[in-house]
Amino acid sequence: MLQILCLVLCGLLTGTCTDPGALLRLGMDIVNHEVQSAMEESHILEKMAAEAGKKGPGGKPIKGLSNMKVKDVLVPVITLNFVPGVGIFQCVSTGMTITGKSFTGGYMEIIVVLNITATNRLLQDEETGTPMFKSEGCEIILVSVKTNLPSNKVISKFLDSTLHKVLPGLMCPAIDAVLVYVNKKWANLTEFMPVGQMGTVKYALTSLPATMADHIQVDFSPVVQQQKGETIQLADAGETPKFPEHSAEGSSQLLLSATFLTAELALLQSSLDVTIQDQK
């Protein structure tokens, strides 16, 4: 079993790491998956739609439109892009039907297709030290607007001003609500995690994750502790570890240093009855 482990580790390492620590490159594959699943988990657009019909502190009345309801929210399509040095640009394409009684007294139906865009800035939570995203500059871009009302200047002016008044308040909180779910995924990152029965490892962040053109780089200084709470010192080594040159586009990689693995294996040593000698 240890031989298999060694093969796997050696394959991962390819002799490039000499630094104590672990480096994570979060590619678009993982980021996309996390944001999509946060969106699904939160059922946010459906909740927003349900809220829109209720009268509450958030639901401002709209001049010329009463009994407003939102229905038939389209499954959102999310597009993400890295913004170097900042975070992630997010575009949520969706659509919905807004109904109500118009100023003309008749039933009104507006079918709107729109994009919600915002920049999710990558910051550090001051209290916990974990990374977090915070949205900035949310905008609603109308892609198409259809209505049952006759098309004339008065109606299109009414529609335009109504939609520009209603939609940001309705949709922008969705971006923040989704980020709450995304941010939760970082939550346990810096907790102590068990390594078998013999000890724990904690992936402390060395610095704030940095956003590059095609990934987010997360730099860890792992703390390896024995069950009794004694920290195993990671041997110091000079060179910065390097990622392999050719990796699939959008993919994520995890680079573990030999010294870190040595410390982890040292934890398992007593139960495996082996001697670990080679730092490489």
Q: Is 75 in the site for ligand NAG (CB under 6 A)?
A: no
- At 196, give phi and psi (nearest 5°): 55, -140
The site string for ligand NAG over 132-161 (x = CB under 6 A, - otherwise) reads ---------x-x------------------
Q: Does 202 bind ligand NAG (CB under 6 A)?
A: no
Element (H, E) at 131: strand 131-147
16, 93, 200, 217: residue in contact with ligand NAG (rule CB under 6 A) = 93
Among the listed residues 14, 37, 188, 271, the single contact to ligand NAG using CB under 6 A: 188
Nearer to ligand NAG (CB atom), residue 119 or residue 259: 119
- Residue choice 79, 197, 233, 240 for contact with ligand NAG (CB under 6 A): 79
- In residues, how long is the chain? 280
147: helix, coil or strand? strand
Instruction: Please identify which residue in the block is written with the tokens 């500059």.
Output: 137
Cα 128 versus chain centre, distance:
17
* In the complex, minimum distance from the CB of residue 144 to ligand NAG, in angstroms, rounded to a whole number: 9
Q: Which is nearer to ligand NAG, 185 or 202 (CB)?
A: 185
Minimum CB–partner distance for residue 188 and ligand NAG (Å) = 4
Segment contacting ligand NAG (CB under 6 A): 23-31, 60-68, 181-189, 238-246?
181-189
CB of 142 to ligand NAG, least distance (A): 7
- What residues from 109 to 128 belong to the interface with ligand NAG (CB under 6 A)? 115
Q: Would you state the structure tokens that stand for residue 70, as one six-digit string?
A: 């939102």
Closest approach of ligand NAG to the CB of residue 118, in Å: 13
Measured from the CB atom, the residue of 103 and 192 that comes closer to ligand NAG is 192
Under the binding rule (CB under 6 A), the answer on residue 187 touching ligand NAG is yes
Helix (H) and strand (E) counts in the chain: 5, 12
Q: Which three-class secondary structure state does DSSP give residue 148?
A: coil
Among 12, 62, 73, 91, binds ligand NAG (CB under 6 A): 91
Do strands 210-211 and 216-226 pair parallel, antiparallel, or not at all (unpaired)? antiparallel
Q: What would the 3-class secondary structure string for 182-193 be?
A: HHHCCHHHHCEE
- Render 12-32 in DSSP notation, one character per residue: HHTT---SSSEEEEE-HHHHH
In which residue are the tokens 């080679």 written? 278
Please report whether residue 37 would count as binding ligand NAG according to CB under 6 A: no
Query: Is residue 2 near ligand NAG by the rule CB under 6 A?
Result: no
CB of 34 to ligand NAG, least distance (A): 10
DSSP assigned state of 58: S
Separation of alpha carbons 261 and 241, rounded Å: 14
Instruction: Quote the least distance from Cβ 119 to ligand NAG, whole Å.
Output: 14
What residues contact residue 50 under an 8 Å CB cut-off, 6+ apart? 70
What residues line the site for ligand NAG (CB under 6 A)?
79, 91, 93, 115, 141, 143, 184-185, 187-188
